[in-house]
Amino acid sequence: MTMKKESTADKAVPPPITDIDRRQHPTVDEPTLLAAFDTHLRLTLGRSERTAQTYGVHVRTFCRYLEEHHRGVTLLDAKTMHVKAFLLHQAARGLAPASRANQGCALRALFAFLVEEDLVRHNPAEGVRLPSRGSERTEVYSEDEADTIIGWAADQDSIRWRVGHVVLATFRYTGLRLTELVTLRLDQVDLSTRRISVIGKGDKPRTVPIPPVLVPVLTDCLNVIRLALPASQFFFANPGSSPTGRYHGRYCPRSVQDLVQDAGEQAGVAGRHFPHRWRHSYATSLLRHGVDIHKVQRLLGHSNINTTIRYLHLNDADLADAVDLAFPAPGMGS
């Protein structure tokens, strides 16, 4: 018997590989996409490790937003309206313009990568107008407000706030960035010489002095509090971290953000509460107490003095005190 030759028409011709086909492919699931994007930032674009980490945090925040507010929409489905809605949502949550601009830049970079990889046809973040970074109003704590928050945390008995008090005090008296604090290792803190060795933005090392007021707080953390915490190479070991989680043995940035916000609200201090507000306050306190701005620049790890100036906000009383000190009344000067 002669077999009937299968015609081309009888064959099942697979459809072309479209965006939808790629979205269904197991090699382009969300974790794989984010890992590939991270590699692209660091190796192809030459971005620093910290920039890659920050962009990753922003993209994951966007993914959580899609999951919560646009169920069923994935990264590869996202349209311009989703990006705009996300940034508006972040503004409604009180996120500063500069932070939202950074999130928008991260999404532009992500979708540019996806376009380059032929996973999406268009960059939905490209045409979205981002907030002006210059419109940001830097917020600082007054000395009394900072004392109130630190004091409230110190009065709490739970292990969360015993560690939280140390975190807040470290922010206040060192001006560390959020990323610098959560990645701070035990071997970077030397209490005998009162020094913290930090690798800052752009992988630039700097040394941050530990003020005497902070020494007993850090000492108590090392000798007492850490006995109740998970074993870890990191100085700030999160008592609530999951043994199987990505951040076991340390804090993730979001946990510290929540800690700072909860402390500020529970202490009854007005305004928005976020880690960088403590950094602003640290810089402003230094200037108010007569520290030269170039020394402040080094303490903060800024390569450009203009960046330091943006952090320093003085009120009229500060300016009046400075003038009185420079030009004292007759008989009061040296």
- Is 250 designated active site? no
> Does domain 143-323 sit in CATH 1.10.443.10?
yes
- Is 5 designated active site? no
- Is 82 designated active site? no
**Per-residue pLDDT at 25:** 41
Q: Which residues of the chain have pLDDT under 70?
A: 1-28, 133-138, 310-326, 331-334
**Per-residue pLDDT at 319:** 57
Pairing outcome for strands 195-199 and 205-209: antiparallel
**Per-residue pLDDT at 93:** 85
Catalytic residue among 108, 250, 279, 280: 279
**SS3 assignment, position 204:** coil
**Per-residue pLDDT at 15:** 39
Catalytic residue among 141, 173, 282, 311: 311
In the chain, helix, strand, coil percent, each to 5? 55, 5, 40
Domain 19-135 homologous superfamily, CATH: Tyrosine recombinase, N-terminal domain (1.10.150.130)
Domain boundaries of the chain, sorted by first residue: 19-135, 143-323
Token pair of 332, please?
Answer: 């009061």
- Report if pTM > 0.85: no
**Per-residue pLDDT at 28:** 59
- Is 65 designated active site? no
144: left (phi over 0), alpha (psi -120 to 50) or beta: alpha
DSSP string, 139-197: ----HHHHHHHHHHHHT--SHHHHHHHHHHHHHHHH---HHHHHT-BGGGEETTTTEEE
Catalytic residue among 108, 226, 273, 302: 302
Catalytic residue among 276, 277, 280, 282: 276
Other C-beta atoms closer than 10 Å to the C-beta of 266 total 14
**Per-residue pLDDT at 158:** 94
**Per-residue pLDDT at 174:** 96
Catalytic residue among 201, 254, 272, 310: 201
- Is 108 designated active site? no
**CA angle, 144 as apex, 147 and 297 as ends, to 5°?**
80
Rounded to 5 degrees, φ, ψ at 105 are -65, -40
CA distances from 209 to 194, 200, 201, 244, 276 (A): 6, 15, 18, 35, 19
**Per-residue pLDDT at 65:** 94
Token pair of 184, please?
Answer: 């701070």
**Per-residue pLDDT at 291:** 87
- Is 302 designated active site? yes
Catalytic residue among 58, 177, 250, 277: 177
Each residue's pLDDT tens digit, 194-240 = 999 998 877 789 999 999 999 999 999 999 999 988 888 999 988 87
Contact of 87 with 81, CB cutoff 8 Å? no
**SS3 assignment, position 68:** helix
